[in-house]
Amino acid sequence: MLLANRGFNSLFDDMFDDPFFTRSYSGTSSQVMKTDIHEKDNNYMVEMELPGYAKEDIKADLKDGYLTITAHKNETKEEKDAHGKCIHKERYTGTCNRSFYVGDEVTQDDIKAAFKDGVLTLQIPKEVQHEEEQPKLITIE
């Protein structure tokens, strides 16, 4: 009896090993957007893995002290037979995002960003020293 149940379970295990059930984009944002944060000199270095995304798919937004990284992807895969008829087609549309509090003093000009080989790198200063705005004198004629 135990052997029969084991065979039955392995039948379903094999079925779910099919590539149809193992998608590269399943899961939450934190699984897709794996992030490392390091301190270097007077900066925080953020490295975020975004495999399969293009630079145009990624947006970085700074609002109220929160830096939000958003990645959006539309993908269609289509396989055709020798006669050009569709035999398999899959579509994926999705958005993932992560937010980090960087402080109210940080501006967009303070953050440096680069995207290369599926890794988004952000350099964010720990402390921001903005020059105090000098009063502008009005010329009196």
Q: What's the pTM?
A: 0.64
* CATH of span 2-125: 2.60.40.790
**Residue ranges covered by each domain of the chain:** 2-125
For the record, the structure tokens of 96 come out as 């993932």
Q: What is the pLDDT of residues 7-54, one digit of tens each?
A: 555 555 554 454 444 444 444 444 578 999 999 999 999 999 998 899
Query: Dihedral, CA atoms, 76, 80, 86, 88, nearest 10 degrees?
Result: -60
- If one compares 28 and 141, the residue with the highest pLDDT of the two is 141
- Digit-coded pLDDT (tens) for 46-59: 999 998 899 999 99
pLDDT at 52: 85
